[in-house]
Structure 1
C-alpha cells in the first residue's frame, strides 16, 4: 500500500520521522514518573489519519494484536480499535505500539500520551512510560519504523525479524529473575533503587541508608564467605569438621591424580570443577576409569584454577535449600532436564514440544531454560539405551541431563513445607559454617521428608548468590516469596531507606537559598550532600567543580554513602532534558519566576517557565512540604499542584492582600515565614497555626548587609521555611542564618564583598534583568548606608555586567537598560562561551539597551565594552577610586576573585596596583583549577559538564560551600 501526494516535483514518499529523543529518568513536565519523549514529524502523513489508509488497521492488529486490547481514552478494553477505525494520527498509534512492544518484552507499561507541538504543524510529542530506558527507546524506534512500513512497505524491513531482535535486546538488558524479585519487593515497600551498571549491580535506598545487591549477593555478604563457598574442597572440609553429612572428597589437578582419587574413594564417583557454578562441568555416576578419564577433560574446561574435585556419588533426589539470614526460607526439588514419552514421538520431537513452552527461554531470561541437545545430552540418552530418533514408551521419563540445575533445562518442585526439621537444621548450620547471609544448600538424599542422617545422603555444595527462580516460579507447587526475607535482612522493619531531599528552584536566588539550607543542617551535625551551579558538595567538601544543578549530579549525591541529608539546586535545563534525578523530594522550595531562558527549548512565556519549575512541587508527597514565594503570582499558583502542605514566605507588609491570604492560611493551621516590624527593626517570624515564633532580626543577618540586600532577606525566609519543614529546631535555624555570610568561602560568586584599595567591590552572578533590578536596589540601599557613615564626596558606582549569548536580544537590551538606572559607569564583558553568537554581538546588544536608557535620562553616564572578563576586571579596577562602589557580575568567579585577592595583597604590601605578584595560594582562587561547564545555561546550566573534562574531580579540603 502506498500513499502518494502530488507535488510540483512529483510524488512524495510518506514517512514518519523521529526529530528528537529524550529520556526522563524521574518526574518531568509530562509525567510524575520516568518516561520516554519522542518528537516526531508526520510530514505528509499529517493529512492521512488511519481511516484514510486502507487496510492499515487490520494489518496493524494482525502484526501487533495486543494493541487491540488497549482502552485508550475511551476507558474500556478495546477502545483503541474504535479510535483506529474512526481515524487517529500515526503519532498516537506509534505511542500505543511502543507500549505494547514493551509489554511483549515483559515490561508492563500502560502510561502514554500524544500531543501536538504548538506552532509546528505535523509535529507531535509522544510520551510513554518505560521500565528500562534502552528497551523503551528501542520500542519507540521500532514502532515508528512499523508505522512507515504499514503505510508503504519497505522490502528491507521484516517486522518479525526486527521484533525478534528487539526481544533479544530486551532479554539482554533485563534484570534476572532473582534481581527482579528483590526489586519488586523493595518497590512494594517504597524503597528506591538505582541501577549502577548494565548488569545486576543495584543500589537499594539512598545515601547513608543505601545497600547494594548483585543478583542475590548483598552488601552484607562477606567476601571471605564467598571465597569459601567457591572452594568446594574447603567447604566440604569445614562442614565435615562440624559433623554435617558430606561425601568423601579429594582435590586433584592431574588426570592421574583424578584416577587414583576415584579408586581410593570407590566407584561410583562424581568429578566436578573446584570453582564451577550452575552445574557446568559436573559429571555424575562415573562407574570406571574410562568414564573418569572422559569426565576429567569436561571438568577441567570449566575450572578457573585448574583444580578438580573427586567425590563419592551420593544417590537420591536433588534438593536446593535456600537459607536467608540463617533461617530456611524455601526448598525446591530439582528434576533434571527430561521428556516423557507418548508412544509415538521421537525424543527430538518431544524436546521440541517441551521447549515450545512459553515459560522456557535461553539462559536465565525466563523462569525455565530450554533443553539443550548437545554431546552431553546424547551421552545421557545413550546410557539409557536411547538416541534422538528413538520413540520412548508412553509415560516413560527420559533424562537429557544428569544434574537438576535449572540452567540446564531442569524443572523444580516446591518442597518448602515437606522437609524434616532435622534436615532444615543441617542446612541452616551449613550456611552458618560458611558464613553466608544468603546461601543455597544442595542436598542429595532419598527423601527430604525423612532425616538425612538415617536415610543416607549428604550436602554436596554450598552456593553463594543462589538463584531464586526455582523458588519464585516452581514448575510444580506454590511459589515462595523469598525476596521478603532478603529485603528484611537489608532493611529491617522500621528502618529508613531514604534521606530527606530538599529541592530548590527558581529564576534567581536558588543557589544562595540552597547554601543557606545546607549551612543550617551542617550546624545540626548532618552530612549534607548538595548540588549547585558551582559543583557537588559532600559534607562541606567540594568534590566536583562544574555546573551540577541537574539530575546526574542529584543521583551522584544520593549514591554517596556519607550523605544523610540532600539539598538539590534544580535547574530548568536539567528538568527539560532528563527530569529530576530522583522520584520525589520531601521539600520543594521555589524562590521566584522571572524572565530568563525564555525562547529556549520551547519555553517562551513565564507561565511555561513556571510549569517547568513546578515539577519539583508536583514531586512533593502527601507528607511533604512546598515552600512557596507568596509575593510572586506564578509561584503562588503552584499551590494547586502540591500534594503536601504549603508553607508561604513573603516580604509583604501586614495589612496587604498577600498577608491577608497568609494570615487566613495560618488560621486554618497552615505555616508561613513572614516579616514583622518591631521598634528594633524587621523581625523574621515563623507562623504555625495561631503560634508566632520570632526567629531573627533581618539587619543582624550577615547575608543581608544590614537589611540592604532584600533578595537575601527573601532567601533567608525561604531557607527558614524549608529548615522548619524538615524538623530543624528554631535555635539551630537562627544560628544557621546568623552565621551564614556571603563570603567567598561560604557562598562563592554570590554577593561577595572584597575591599580593594579602600573601594568596596561586590562579586555577584547576576545575569538577567530581574536579578539586576534586585541588585540595583541593593546598591541604592548600600550606598545610602555608606553615605550616612561617611560625609565624603559622592561615591561613583561602577558596574561590570554581561549576558549569556543564548538569551533573546530583547532580554539582553533590558539587562543593559536596567543596569543603567543604578550605575554611573557600566563596563560590558562577554562570557568565554558565546553560545552561538559572534564575538562582540552580545556585548553590543547590552550596550544598546544601556545607551537607550541613558537617552531617556537614566543615571548612567558612560558605557564601555571590554570583552575579555579578566581584562574587564582590570579595566574596572584601574578606574576605581577610594570610596567607590563596584559591582562585578561575573561568569568565572574564581578567576575574578583570584585577581581581586592579588590586588588586595599588593595594596596591603604597598606595591603599585596592577603589578604582577606571586601565584594565589588558595586553590579556590586559583584560575588554573577551574572546571568550566560543557553546557552552561547561565544560572540554570545542566550538569552535562560532568564529562571527560571532569574525569578527575577536584577535592578542596578547606572549602565550606
Structure 2
C-alpha cells in the first residue's frame, strides 16, 4: 500500500443512456472510472476528506445511500467507502444543486478489472449530467491532493450558470412537468424550448407558451399593436386612443391630437422594451421617440393616450381566464440609512432573482433608463430614501425588468374577465396575455376607467406560477387540457422485438398484420426506417435514434421496433416503455463485445425490453428457450407464451398451467392434416391457421418462420388485433423480396433454385441448414437421374469471436455440398481475408470429420462469389446466398438471368454465362 494517496481517479469511458438500459429503468449516464492508486485508499484513510467534501456540498448530508435513511451516505464516508462511489454521489449532489431532483445512482466494480468501477447515475438534462460527472471526478481528486488551478467556488458557479443556460424556462418547465404528471411522453427537439408532447399521430409541440394550436395569423395580429387596438376597438372593447408613426415630428403631432400625457412604444416590441410612459410634453415625446424606435423591428412607433392605474396581466387559455397578476414595476423601499444602490444590491441578493428568465424573479438592472426614472423622482443612486418610501427604477411592471407580481386571480370583476376573454377571441390566440391598466381590477373597467393596452402572444407564466405575493396558479393544467383533452390519447402502441435471430422477419410480419388493419405503421429494422410502407432511410436502424425518429413522425399511429443488442448497450432504448415486448431467442452471438462475455449476460441485455413493459402491457416470450423463459420474472405486465413444443412436453404443461390461471399463449397442435396454430386464452382454444398454408413457411419447411409467425401472432394478439386480421396478415405475408428483402427470398435463375438470406451466425446457420435439408429432400425426390447439389455462399461479421466463426463454417459444412466463403465489406477491425479464413477453417475441419461438404472455396467479394456459384450450378441445384448487400445480390441474379435468356450480350462488363466461369485467381482457393 502506498504511503500517501495521489489524485489518480480518471474517467476511461462515458456512455449516455437515453432510455431504459441494462443498469436502470430510466435514462442514465454511465462512467467507467479507474481509481489507480486510490483503490488502496477508502475515504476513512484520507485525513479531512469527508469534512471538506461535506463543507463544499452540504446536500450530501441528505443522501440515504444503501442505508435507506437520511445521513446514510455520511455514515458510509466515515466508515470508509471507495472514491468511485463518492464520485457518483457528488454527481448527484451537483445536479441537485441546480434544482434537478435526481436520486438514482449505483457504483459497481468492473468484473475482472480491479480498480475500475461502473458509475451509473440519473440525469434530467444530458449536458448538465455529463458536466456533473466530470466535475465530480475533478473535485474528488482535488480533495485527495489540492490542485492550485482548481477553485471550487468558481467551478461551482460556472457549473450553475451552464446548467441555467440549458434549462427550460419557467413556462416550458411548468408545461413539461404537468405532462409528466399525466404520463404524457415528451421529447426535447432542440437545445432551446421546442418540445414535443405525445407520440406519432398524437404529438403536439410547444415552444415556451406557443403551441402547435397557436394561429400564426393571431401571432402576427398580436405583434402589430396598431392593428390589435383597431380590432379590439371595433369590437367595443375599451382601448386607448393611438396612432402609428414613423418619425419624431409625426409622433409630436399625434401626441397633440390624442392629448397629453401619452405613451410611446414600439409597434412590434415585447417584454416592455422601448415603452416610455407618462410623457407630459413635446420634449418628453422627442426624447422618448428614439428609445421606442430602436426596439421596433419595422420602424413603427405607437403613440397612445396614457391610462393611469395599476398594471394587470390577465392570462387567457383556450378562451377562458385562468390567472390574473398585478405587476409592480422594479422598485426598492427606503430604510432611512441605505442608498438606492445599496437597496438595489440587497434586493438582487434574493436567491429567487437571476439573470433574464433563469429564475422566478429577474435582477433589477440599473441602466440609463433607471437613472432617468430616479431623476424624475428627485433621486440618484447615492440618495438615501426615507424609511418606507418606495422608489421606482422602471416605469413598466414587466417581470423581465425586475418587477414583482401579486396574484389577483380571484379578485377580478366578472365584467373585466369577460372583456379579457373577448379580447383573446378577437385576436384568435389560444394562449394570450391581456394587459389591463385600470385603477382597480375589482371594479368594472368601463365604469372606473382603464383600457386594454396590449395583447401578448406567448405570455410568460412565471408571474402566475411563482408570484411574489399570493398563491401560485397551476396554469400548466389548462394548457395540457387544451392539447390533450380528458380521455385523449398521447401515446401510440409500441411493439419491440429482440432476439438473436428472426427479429427483422418478425417485425415485418407484425407490421404487415397492422398495415392490413389500416394502421399507419412506423417500423425500424436492420434494413432501415419504414413509415407507412415507405422506406425513408436505408441503414441499420435497429437503434434508439431510429425509434425516436418514428415517434416524432406525425403520420405514425403504430410503432414496431427491432431492438438490437448494440443499441441497448450503446444508448439504451429510444423510448421509456413498450406496450408489447417480443423476445424470440437468446443464442451465443456478439459475445466478447462491450463487456458481454456470456450468453446469460446477453440475455440480461435483451431483457431490457421486458423490463420496459408497463403493468397493462405484455411480454411475448419463447417458452422453448430457457433463457427467454426466465425473463418472465422481470415483466411487470402479462406474459404471453409461444411454443413449438408438442402437447405433453414440460413446456406445454407449463403453458397449460399458465392458461388455466387466465393467461395467454399461442402454440402448435400437430395432426394428420398438418400443424395448427392455436391461440389459448384462459380455458378457450381458438384455431388460427395451418402452418403449411402460410407462404412464409415454405409449406412448413422453414421452421424459423413458423416460430416467427407464432411470435408475430402472439404480439398482434397482445396488442389487440382481432384473430381474423392476424390470420389474414399471416396468410398474405410472404418472403418475396418486396415484403421481406434479404430474408429467405426465393428466386429461380435459369432453372437453379436460389435462396437469399441474411444468416450470419452459427445459431442462424443451424436453422437455415434445417431448412436447406428439408428443401433439398424435396428437390432430390423430383430428380430421377442425378442428385441436385447444394451450394452455399456463407460469411459472418468480423466482430465475432474466432470460435464463433469456425463454428459457423462447421455447421454449414453439414448441410451444403459446396461452401463458398465470402467476406463483408465492413471488416470490423480485422485484416482483409482474416474472417473468411476462419470460417473456411471451420468448414475444412468438419470436412475432415466426414461432413456432407466435399468442396470449400474462398471468394472474398460478394458479387464475385454469387457469379462463381451461379456459373457452377446446374438446373435443379439449390444455391443459398447469405448476403451482406441484398439489393446488389438480387440485381446481379436478375442480370444473370437476363444474360442467360438473351444467349449473348453486347455489354463487355456483364457477367459471363459460361459454365466454365471461374473467379479471379487472387480470390479463389481450391477445395480440400
TM exceeding 0.5 = yes
Listed as ranges, the gaps of 5+ residues in structure 1 are: 919-961
Aligned to 2:123: 130
Partner of 1:85: 78
More off after superposition, 67-76 vs 732-741: 67-76
Q: Is 1:419 paired with 2:416?
A: no
| Structure 1 residues 433-461: Cα deviation after superposition (integer angstroms, max 9, x where no partner) | 00000000000000000000001100000
Residue among 573, 594, 597 paired with 1:604: 597
Q: Residue 461 of structure 1 aligns with which residue?
A: 454
C-alpha contact 2:6 2:38 (8 A) present in aligned 1: no
Give the distance between the partners of 2:904 and 2:878, measured in 1 at CA: 22
- Aligned twin of 1:824: 817
Counterpart pick for 1:447 among 423, 428, 440: 440
DSSP 3-state at the match of 2:85: helix
Contact 1:903–1:914 (8 Å) recurs in 2 = no
Corresponding residue number in structure 2 for 1:500: 493
Matched residue SS, 2:688? strand
Q: Distance in 1 between matches of 2:755 and 2:640?
A: 32
Q: CA deviation at 1:744?
A: 0.6
1:750-796 deviation per Cα after TM superposition (whole angstroms, max 9, x unaligned): 00001111011110000000000000000001111223344341010
Counterpart in 1 of 2:673? 680
Match of 1:923 in 2: none
Alignment equivalent of 2:514, drawn from 505, 512, 521: 521
Aligned equivalents of 1:791, 1:324: Cα separation in 2: 82
Paired with 1:585 and 1:826, the residues of 2 have a C-alpha distance of 42
Cα distance in 2 between the residues matched to 1:866 and 1:914:
24
Given candidates 57, 62, 79, the residue that maps to 2:50 is: 57
Alignment partner for residue 242 of structure 2, among 242, 249, 254? 249
Quick check: 2:847–2:853 contact (8 Å CA) kept in 1? yes
State the SS of the aligned residue for 1:815: helix
Q: Distance in 2 between matches of 1:377 and 1:860?
A: 92
Which position in structure 1 is the counterpart of 2:163? 170
CA distance in 2, matches of 1:869, 1:160: 61
> Counterparts of 2:683 and 2:668 in 1: how far apart (Å)?
16
Is 2:41 the partner of 1:44? no
Structure 1 position 405 matched with structure 2 position 398: yes
1:907 Cα deviation after fit: 2.9
Q: Displacement, 1:679?
A: 2.5
Report the alpha carbon displacement of residue 908 of structure 1 after superposing the two structures with TM. Answer: 3.4
* Cα deviation, residue 287, structure 1: 1.1
Whole-angstrom CA distance in 2 between matches of 1:267 and 1:447: 22
Q: How far apart are 1:219 and its partner, in Å?
A: 0.7
What is the Cα deviation at residue 678 of structure 1?
2.1
Q: Counterparts of 1:525-604 in structure 2 under 5 Å? A: 525-604=518-597
TM-fit CA distance, 1:901: 1.2
Q: Deviations over 1:363-404 (max 9, x none)?
A: 001110011111111111111111111111111111110000
Paired position in structure 1 for 2:920? none
Q: Which residue of 1 aligns with 2:318?
A: 325
Q: Deviations over 1:902-935 (max 9, x none)?
A: 11223334447997569xxxxxxxxxxxxxxxxx
CA shift at 1:289, angstroms? 1.7
Measured in 2, the distance between the counterparts of 1:912 and 1:249 equals: 84
Partner residue, 2:615: 622
Deviations 1:57-114 (A, max 9, x none): 1110111111122111111111111110100011111111111110111111111111
Contact 1:906 1:913 in 2 (8 A): no
When normalised by structure 1's length, the TM-score is 0.94
Partner of 1:198: 191
Match in the other structure for 2:218: 225
Number of residues paired by the alignment? 911
Q: Distance in 2 between matches of 1:485 and 1:638?
A: 41
> In the superposition, relative to structure 1, how do residues 915 and 883 fare at CA in structure 2: closer, same or farther (>3 Å)?
farther
Contact 1:903 1:913 in 2 (8 A): no
- Return the TM-score normalized by structure 2: 0.97
Choose 292-301 or 686-695, whichever is displaced more: 292-301
Give me the whole-angstrom Cα distance separating, in 2, the residues matched to 1:529 and 1:492. 25
Q: Distance in 2 between matches of 1:256 and 1:698?
A: 89
1:240 equivalent to 2:233? Answer: yes
Q: CA-to-partner distance for each residue in 1:337-385, whole Å, 9 max, x for gaps?
A: 0111111111111111111111111100111001111111111111111
Distance 1:391 1:898 in 2: 88
Structure 1 residue aligned with 2:921: none
User: 1:517–1:722: 8 Å Cα contact kept in structure 2?
Assistant: yes
Q: How does 1:68-83 map to 2 (within 5 A)?
A: 68-83=61-76
Partner of 1:941: none
What secondary structure is seen at the aligned counterpart in 2 of 1:783?
A: helix
Residues 5, 144 of structure 2: 8 Å contact kept: no
Distance 2:119 2:481 in 1: 40
**Aligned pairs for 1:608-687 within 5 A:** 608-687=601-680
C-alpha displacement of 1:648: 0.5
How far the C-alpha of 1:159 sits from its partner, in A, is 1.2
1:468-479 to 2 correspondences below 5 Å: 468-479=461-472
1:725 aligns with 2:684: no
Cα distance change, pair 646–187 in 1 and its aligned pair in 2 (3 A): same
Match of residue 916 from structure 2: none
Q: Is contact 2:108–2:119 with CA below 8 Å preserved after alignment?
A: yes
Correspondence 1:765 to 2:758: yes
CA distance in 2, matches of 1:898, 1:766: 19
Higher relative contact order (CA 8 A, sep 6+): 1
**Which residue of structure 2 aligns with residue 748 of structure 1?**
741
Q: Which residue of 1 aligns with 2:348?
A: 355
Shift in Å, 1:14: 2.8
Alignment partner of 1:511: what SS? Answer: helix
* Mapped contact 2:6–2:144 kept (Cα < 8 A): no
Deviation at 1:555, TM superposition (A): 0.2
CA shift for structure 1 position 210: 0.4
Residues 117 and 509 (structure 1), Cα distance of their counterparts in 2 relative to 1, 3 Å cut: same
Once the two structures are overlaid, the 10-residue window that deviates more, 549-558 or 153-162, is 153-162
Q: Are 2:795 and 1:802 aligned?
A: yes
User: RMSD between aligned alpha carbons?
Assistant: 1.2
Could you tell me whether the CA contact under 8 Å between 1:907 and 1:913 is conserved in 2? Answer: no
Please state whether the residue corresponding to 1:172 is helix, strand or coil. Answer: helix
Q: Which runs of 5 or more residues in structure 2 are unaligned?
A: 912-928
SS at match of 1:285: strand
